[in-house]
Structure 1
Amino acid sequence: MQLSEKFVSYTQPLLQEEWIDFEQALEQESPTSIRINPTKAKGLLIQSERVLWCETGYYLAKRPSFTFDPLFHAGAYYVQEASSMFIEQVFRQYLNDDIKVLDLCAAPGGKSSHIASLISEESLLVSNEVIKSRSFILSENMTKSGYPNVIVTNNDPSDIGNKLPSFFDAILIDAPCSGEGMFRKDPHAVEEWSPANVQLCKERQQRIVADVWDALKPEGILIYSTCTYNKLENEENINWILDNFDAEILPIETDANWNISQAYNNEVLAHHFFPHKVKGEGFFLAAIQKKGNVTFENLPSNKRNKKQNTAKPQTLALEYKKYISRHEEYTFFDKNGLWFAFPEKQYEAFLQVSSQLKLVSAGIYIGEFKGKDFLPQHSLAMSNRINKDAFILHDIGRETAIAYLRKEALVFEDQPKGYILLTYKNVPLGFIKNIGNRANNLYPNEWRIRTSHLPDETTDLLQIVLG
């Protein structure tokens, strides 16, 4: 890897005697890691090493073709860089109650799906992405993760800060950065690096923090992270936050065996991940608490924008409500002929968010009526709240599963007519409508596997033990 002279001249003094080890690590292959979805795959990886700071994180000995693993498409696991799984420690140490969380720069969804697995069922997660095209990718990945208490939005940070004051108990800003920590995985990041770009990123990160700060409740926690090494985007920005806002930094307990580094010269209570010390890429994280007391005046308003068409609870037949387990804990509503369910305890919060922000997806999209026929949707199949007893189940092999994921025509002559929930290793994969001589493949067209290639090697990562 050819590092620019300016990058070397800036970074080498920071690492001092560790520079040679760091430079050598950049020449090594980047490790592959995944995080298990605990609601879909209660099992163990085959002969795999654990990620020390994440209870559901594992390393793989080599990178397989995830595209051809049906369990990947079923949301049983997520391919996520190991260092970034460290956000788990902030939630476990400080955020254990029923809370409202914003993941501000959330696409493609690794950290959001991780957060969803960490917060309680009575909590709310808003996953936001400012770039519209990326918000659809975020929505797809959050749908596959299966958590019903999630809203995906497509808004600028200033929209959220202005429209939802003191709304969130925690905000994650995984800030757009110069990408130094991704040099091993992204050669373009090496080519595009420059001191000017670092300065530009630093200023953009400050604007993002300032724009969304008002949405954080007093005593709420801002989690600030980047995938870069330099002080400008990390330590200097943390000091800028502390200097410009009424806030204090929080310590995060770590194990010495994790080999996570402290901030340069211990300037602030923050953590660096370096590839020569941990099995992962470059990463930086700090947790900051907003000072002040929660009072009546700074509680979020329950008022909604009446000009917008907010969803209203309607009547859905009990037969279809029972598609969801513990359906009595959900509010069911109709929007333009489409039926959704959202956890009742956070429904009022959902209405607030939906009246103020641009929604991409939310809760469980159950289905829609086509004449007298109720067509179940893929969001329901992916939900970890689906009531599998409400459907005819048919477990299929890998070859048939890949054909289904390619949205190919299928035939199930030995199965009854009607809607059937296909599973792979007993994990829901999606719906078909069997009409006898053929089956209508209901897998979302935009999510289908587009390549006709099928590798000889079987990707079989998990031993599934159903809950």
Structure 2
Amino acid sequence: MDLPASFTVYTRSLLGDEEYDKLAVAIQQEPPVSIRLNKLRVDSPLLPVPWASDGFYLDERLTFTFDPLFHAGGYYVQEASSMFVEQVLRQYVTEPVVMLDLCAAPGGKSTHARSVLPEGSLLVANEVIRNRSQVLAENLTKWGHPDVVVTNNAPADFSSLLSFFDVILTDVPCSGEGMFRKDPVAVEEWSPENVEICWQRQRRIIADIWPSLKPGGILIYSTCTYNTKEDEENVHWIQQEFGAEPLALEIREDWNITGNLLYKGSDDSKAVGDSEQKAPVYHFFPHKTKGEGFFLAVLRKPETEEDTMPAFSSSKSKAAKRKDKKGGATPSLVSKEHLNIAKNWLNEEKLPGYIVSVEGTKIQVFPQQYVDELAAMKQSLKIVSAGVGIGEVKGKDLIPGHALAMSSVLLRQGVFATEDITYEQAIAYLRKEAIALPATAPRGYILLTYRNIPLGFVKNIGKRANNLYPQEWRIRSGYLPDEIKTL
């Protein structure tokens, strides 16, 4: 791999000859493979990622597309260095919060945050590009936690939600220097001009979203790049522009994390410095840590900020009111009987904390305590999904939703008959092909499992079972690799 000359000159001046030469060698090597296990689903004795409780390194890359556990949300393939976000949430978030992951697709940090946030928290995961927001919703659905909202908006769209979020994660689009060995396209697209575009765009993103952070709230700023223009200098700008207070994290020396590159007097990123240039920041370099390039800083919004959020309103939206004026809402196709069936599918112990609602032909479940916040978001944001879609009425039938199969939190154990299927059957199911069940299998909706982990629903009608796996999520490849490696 030929690194861009301008990158070499700049980064050598930043790190020094010895460190840069080590970095250049590391960039030419094969990247490590790491995953995060879904503690709601699986357990495995793998080599742990030191800074992530459920992160593990793999000895080799698996055939992820053809691993049913991957599609079942049993684990997420995530770069190890980026799992460092967990340390912020564990050290600074100790009670329920409303958190925004602003640039969230495809969902690595969102699924991670949802795993470590205090129970009772609400995660809002946003993606500005529409098709990527659908991928984000898919991955969060598979992860299985109900207290999640997925939105499809630009940062500026959040401007009406003043002082709304306790925590905002901004993993901002960057020049991608930290992804060079993992993604050759990142090398081809890199240029000094692109670095200039990136740091300016990053500041616009922070300026757009800052009013939505509560006074005293936490901003997590991260990139996957090395240069100080997008990293330290932007952190310094956030301090100056908004009066933000940089926060230090407790880290271990053997993690080999690099500190502030603008402050040459010390490499100790654990200590809060006596100047803004010495703000505690955290660099991951692949020649020092087992992962890709990553940068993170944590900042607190001043308590003196006077941004106030208008009182939440759970009243009808303007569109709904206009609809009423035109002759009333469309009669619901969801009957009381459908609702009773849906409620019977839910875990009785969890149900009191959630509200069951109807939207068109769909029945959904959402945490009761955040109903007003959801109503406020619906007034200004494009909601892709919220909570868990537990079923949809088609004709006279209520068909259980795939999200219900994935929600080990809400699904009532034993309410559906289950069939544990073979690897070959699982792949056929994930391709949305017909599944042959044993003659002893009961008629009606059946929850298929693979290694006792839910994959999704089928409807057994006797001679065949109708495959209810989401069409848009299916495995499109019609062949199996010669060698298959799964978890």
What range describes the TM-score normalised by the shorter chain of this pair? over 0.9
1:130-149 to 2 correspondences below 5 Å = 130-149=128-147
- 2 CA distance for matches of 1:128 and 1:269? 27
Q: What residue in structure 2 maps to residue 271 of structure 1? A: 282
Structure 2 contact 161–309 (Cα < 8 Å) conserved: no
* RMSD of aligned alpha carbons: 1.8
Distance 1:106 1:213, change over 3 A: same
- 1 CA distance for matches of 2:11 and 2:390? 51
Output the TM-score relative to the length of structure 1: 0.94
Q: Is residue 291 of structure 1 aligned with residue 291 of structure 2? A: no
Q: What residue in structure 2 maps to residue 322 of structure 1? A: 344
Q: Cα distance, 1:348 vs. partner?
A: 1.9
Identity of aligned residues (%): 53
For the residue of structure 1 that corresponds to 2:457, the secondary structure is: strand
* 1:8 maps to amino acid: T
Q: Deviations over 1:267-297 (max 9, x none)?
A: 32100000000000000000000002487x7
Q: Cα distance, 1:459 vs. partner?
A: 3.2
Distance 1:317 1:192, change over 3 A: closer
1:300-379 to 2 correspondences below 5 Å = 301-303=311-313, 306-309=317-320, 317-325=339-347, 326-379=350-403
For the residue of structure 1 that corresponds to 2:455, the secondary structure is: strand
- 1 CA distance for matches of 2:13 and 2:318? 56
Q: What residue in structure 1 maps to residue 14 of structure 2? A: 14
Q: Is residue 40 of structure 1 aligned with residue 41 of structure 2? A: yes
**Structure 1 residue corresponding to 2:203, chosen from 187, 202, 206:** 206
* 2:169 maps to amino acid: L
Q: Cα distance, 1:389 vs. partner?
A: 1.4
- 2 CA distance for matches of 1:166 and 1:279? 37
- 1 CA distance for matches of 2:40 and 2:345? 17
Q: What residue in structure 1 maps to residue 486 of structure 2? A: 460
For the residue of structure 1 that corresponds to 2:318, the secondary structure is: coil
Q: Is residue 127 of structure 1 aligned with residue 125 of structure 2? A: yes
**Structure 2 residue corresponding to 1:53, chosen from 35, 45, 51:** 51
Q: Cα distance, 1:121 vs. partner?
A: 3.0
- 2 CA distance for matches of 1:294 and 1:336? 41
Q: Is residue 393 of structure 1 aligned with residue 395 of structure 2? A: no
Structure 1 contact 166–300 (Cα < 8 Å) conserved: no
Distance 1:300 1:36, change over 3 A: farther
* 1:303 maps to amino acid: S
Structure 1 contact 167–300 (Cα < 8 Å) conserved: no
The count of corresponding residues between Structure 1 and Structure 2 is 456
Q: Cα distance, 1:430 vs. partner?
A: 0.2
Q: What residue in structure 2 maps to residue 189 of structure 1? A: 186
Q: Is residue 234 of structure 1 aligned with residue 231 of structure 2? A: yes
- 1 CA distance for matches of 2:457 and 2:310? 40
Q: Deviations over 1:416-445 (max 9, x none)?
A: 110000011111100000000001000011
Q: What residue in structure 2 maps to residue 465 of structure 1? A: none
Distance 1:94 1:218, change over 3 A: same
1:58-97 to 2 correspondences below 5 Å = 58-97=56-95
Gapped regions of structure 2 (runs ≥ 5): 264-276, 322-328
Q: Cα distance, 1:355 vs. partner?
A: 2.5
1:147-162 to 2 correspondences below 5 Å = 147-160=145-158, 162=159
Distance 1:96 1:294, change over 3 A: farther
Q: Cα distance, 1:324 vs. partner?
A: 2.0
Structure 2 contact 361–394 (Cα < 8 Å) conserved: no
Structure 1 contact 150–362 (Cα < 8 Å) conserved: yes
- 2 CA distance for matches of 1:64 and 1:55? 21
Q: Deviations over 1:33-83 (max 9, x none)?
A: 000111122x223xx211000000000001011111101000010000000
Q: What residue in structure 2 maps to residue 434 of structure 1? A: 460
Q: What residue in structure 2 maps to residue 98 of structure 1? A: 96
